[in-house]
Structure 1
Amino acid sequence: MKIQKKPVIDLGCCNQCEVCIDLAPHAFKMIDAGYVDVLPLDSYEDDEDILEAVKNCPQDCISWE
């Protein structure tokens, strides 16, 4: 059985630039509390938009858990 990895945002270094939301709006969302949250999905790893969002985060604050 393959263990699913999930993107995690380090809120301490996130500057809310919303690049991740622009690239993968189905996976990332700015919530009312003022920070970016990862939305629940069945799979994250094989999604090219999510991989691009992780790669293009200017603060490098998205990692895999």
Structure 2
Amino acid sequence: MSDVNWEDPFCGEGNSCYRIGTDAQGNSYIALVGQEDQYLTDSREALQQMIRDIKAGKADHLL
């Protein structure tokens, strides 16, 4: 696996804390805090679109 540069955790209400990261190849990662070895990965563009949708209120139940 490539080295992932993890951002600071994002914690919503309750115990749902996530981390988003990227690698040098342009892949994006999302994982629960403390479980960064069990991540979902996709392209940077896909993760950016997911974040835009969340901010637009289309998928706020994900966070």
Common fold: TM-score over 0.5: no
Sort the TM-score into its range (normalised by shorter chain): under 0.3
- Greater RCO (CA < 8 Å, at least 6 residues apart): 1
Specify the structure having the higher radius of gyration (Cα). 2
TM-score by length of 2: 0.25
TM-score by length of 1: 0.25
